[in-house]
Amino acid sequence: MHSKERVFSGIQPSGTSHLGTYLGALKNFVALQDDYETFYCIVDLHALTTPRDPKVLRSSVREIAAIYLAAGLDPSRAIIFRQSSVGEHAELCWLMNCVAKVGELSRMTQFKDKTQRGGAEAASVGLYAYPVLQAADILLYNAHLVPVGEDQRQHLELARTLARRFNNLYGDTFVVPEIMIPKTGARIMALDEPTAKMSKSRPTPGGYISLLDEPDEIRRKIRRAKTDSGTEVTATPDKPAISNLLGIYAGLSNRTVPEVEGQYRGKGYGDFKKDLAEVVVEGLSPIRERALELLDDPRELDALLESGAEKARAVARPVLRDAASRMGLD
Ligand code: AMP
Ligand code: TRP
């Protein structure tokens, strides 16, 4: 039998996942599970790179597990697990730390952005090495394809560079992974500030729609979302706010932006926003309801994660052993 190619991706258990996480990543995770052998990780080691309350971290892990399932991942096909349960991630990360270069990590824009306020000197070494751990995550499964949002492009480029470098130094070991970025929804912007990415760490809750927001909360946030000057519902560079809202509409209704623009020709922002609110409510409510149900039974979620980790370990162990042995560790 021809074995399926592999997909790997991960989401951090930090804050609440939002519409950007869903359209940029999670929606694709679900679509890929039919045709690939899929590994979807809850990257708790990555979450530790900035300080966390241990209790909150534990509950965030379960929340992401519930959201994975509620969004449509099927544990009989997709392997869902927690990164820290598979020790091979941290081990391969160390090996890759010895292959990656300080210069490369110093060019990572996410590190620069995240340390802009407090300064790089005060950042954890973990935050600096974050992209190396991410590369290790992917290479450990010899994943061919990595579905992510646009903000992960540079990290994926580094993963490809490290795979190639390792292969050149020690012989053909790792698959060089391809990045997969969706056509619509790759970069959802904040509702209150359409020039900034919708993000978990945004201080204003009006900027993002959490996957667990109540329908009325969603309606309120869409009603208050920033719009642009003018009246036409079109995605043009001078209309960053409406372009963003059109992207959300298109992504959730599985249509293209021009199709949605066509539907609102001759109509105003008010009509569009009213319909958009219902599109978002319809898209997210089933996820929210199912996730909350699943969160009622945390032991079931823990058991699911443990069984995923077992399957993940079985794949990761020989890959790590092979890499270590090629470096002379045997
Ligand atoms: P995170 O929640 O930061 O771990 O991100 C999980 C996934 O969601 C990654 O693939 C990100 O690229 C993607 N993502 C996060 N925020 C956004 C956004 N605003 N628009 C599109 N994709 C996003
Ligand atoms: N850095 C990613 C993010 O914040 C999460 C992540 C960790 C990831 N490891 C990964 C994504 C491996 C894809 C593949 O969104």
The SS3 assignment for 319 reads helix
- Domain spans, the chain: 6-186+298-326, 205-292
Q: What is the mean pLDDT of residues 283-312?
A: 98
- Determine the pLDDT at residue 171: 98
Distance separating the N- and C-terminal Cα atoms of the chain: 32
Residue 114: active-site member: yes
If you average pLDDT over every residue of the chain, what do you get?
A: 96
pLDDT at 148 > cutoff 60? yes
Name the residue of 46, 128, 157 to mutate for ligand 2: max ligand atoms within 8 A of Cβ.
46
pLDDT at 16 > cutoff 80? yes
What is the pLDDT confidence band of residue 201, given thresholds at 50, 70 and 90?
confident
Ligand 2 atom nearest to CA at 147: 13
**Over pLDDT 70: what percentage of the chain?**
99
pLDDT at 90 > cutoff 60? yes
Q: What is the mean pLDDT of residues 264-268?
A: 96
At the topology level, CATH places domain 6-186+298-326 in Rossmann fold (3.40.50)
pLDDT at 1 > cutoff 60? no
Whole-structure pTM over 0.85, yes or no?
Answer: yes
Residue 183: active-site member: no
Q: How far is the CA of 43 from the centre of ligand 1 (A)?
A: 13
At the topology level, CATH places domain 205-292 in Tyrosyl-Transfer RNA Synthetase (1.10.240)
pLDDT at 2 > cutoff 70? no
**234-243: long-range contacts (C-beta < 8 A, 24 or more apart)?**
234/261, 235/261, 240/189, 240/194, 240/195, 241/189, 241/194, 242/269, 242/272, 243/194
Q: How far is the CA of 169 from the centre of ligand 1 (A)?
A: 33
pLDDT tens across 228-252, in order?
999 999 999 999 999 999 999 999 9
DSSP 5-17: PEEEEEE--SS--
Residue 311: active-site member: no
**Which residue in the list 27, 55, 101, 197 is annotated as catalytic?**
197
Instruction: Give 204 or 66, the one with higher predicted confidence.
Output: 66
Ligand 1 and 248: CB distance under 6 A = no
- Determine the pLDDT at residue 316: 98
